[in-house]
Amino acid sequence: MSTPLIELKNIEKHFGSVIALNGVSVSVNAGECHCLLGDNGAGKSTFIKTMSGVHKPTRGQIFIDGKETVFATARDAIDAGIATVYQDLAMIPLMSVTRNFWMGREPLRSVGPLKFIDFDKANRVTMEEMAKMGIHLREPGQAVGTLSGGERQTVAISRAVYFGAKVLILDEPTSALGVRQTSNVLATIDKVRKAGIGVVFISHNVRHAMAVGDRFTVLNRGQTLGTARRGEINPEELQDLMAGGKELAQLEGSLGGTV
């Protein structure tokens, strides 16, 4: 079996006396969508911030391509090819798709001793990269705020892929989307996975995860409840693990089966 792109072993993260993560282990392979599932407060946000270098683990190890690595900053993780697309997408609605796509990394052209943004290249690449993901813009100068939520997600994903992501962490990418937009984003995730990039899909929606996931890890109160491959577990079993099957069954019994 190939070496994982990234592997986290026995990760603990303490905030004073609060233990947010308690021995979590997850790996991501090339071309795989690994879904990390859990309800609110399960530890998903802390885990992805640890994976992306925002938090340093209190204990545990992180391996990149089989080599133990310590991320001193989030920039170290980005340089290692770990890209994160957060729910807020870090975009400016009134700015163009091109400016949001290149933000801070604009291509330059020289005129004598002076350097200017090469808008011809920036616009061309933006249109090409968005088209690869199935989004055909009217023009690169179109404001990001005029795009649907799913299209904005695709801009963020396309941007991360273009700038060299080997592992793409998606934080609840479908949580605020309608059915059609969700379908488009899931199709984009599938394209990214087929391009050989490892995807970490953070979600509390079992159906969305089952649509694109290859492996599924459930987090509950900072601990993993296990990892299953596609075909080894069904949506109902995943939902029970997330919600706490025993507690739900007890509640259903006490309410006379009305849950």
Name all domains of the chain by residue range, CATH numbers in brackets.
6-94+163-254 (3.40.50.300), 95-142 (no CATH)
pLDDT number for residue 202:
94
Q: How would residue 259 be classed by pLDDT, with cut points 50, 70 and 90?
A: very low
Share of the chain above pLDDT 70, in %: 93
Which amino acid type is present at position 137? L
Q: Which residue has the higher pLDDT, 253 or 107?
A: 107
Could you tell me which residues are beta bridge partners of residue 18? 15
pLDDT 10s digits, 90-117: 889 999 999 999 998 999 998 888 999 9
How would residue 254 be classed by pLDDT, with cut points 50, 70 and 90? low
Strand partners, 24: 11
Q: Are 185 and 98 in contact (CB under 8 A)?
A: no
Bridge partners for 59 per DSSP: 12
Phi, psi for residue 238 in degrees, rounded to 5: -65, -45
Measured CA distances, 250 to 41, 120, 244, 253 (Å): 22, 63, 10, 5
In this prediction, residue 46 carries a pLDDT of 93
pLDDT reported for residue 90:
80
- 83-87, 163-167, 226-230 — most confident range: 163-167
Nearby residues of 87 by Cβ (< 8 Å), 6 or more positions away: 171, 172, 173, 175, 176
- Region 25-54 average pLDDT: 92
Q: Are 85 and 173 in contact (CB under 8 A)?
A: yes
Give residue 42's pLDDT.
86
User: 231, exposed or middle or buried, with CB in 10 Å at 0-12, 13-18, 19+?
Assistant: exposed
Beta strands in the chain (DSSP E): 6-15, 18-28, 33-37, 59-64, 67-69, 82-85, 108-111, 114-117, 167-171, 198-203, 215-220, 223-229
Mean pLDDT of 2-12: 94
- Of 190 and 259, the one with more pLDDT: 190
| Residue 249 scores a pLDDT above 70 | no
Pairing of strands 33-37, 59-64: unpaired
Q: How confident is the model at residue 77 (pLDDT cuts 50, 70, 90)?
A: very high
pLDDT in tens, 193-242: 999 999 999 998 999 999 999 999 999 888 888 899 999 988 888 888 88
Residue 5's pLDDT is 96
Q: What is the mean pLDDT of the chain?
A: 89
Q: Is the pLDDT of residue 251 over 80?
A: no
Q: Which amino acid is at 184?
A: N
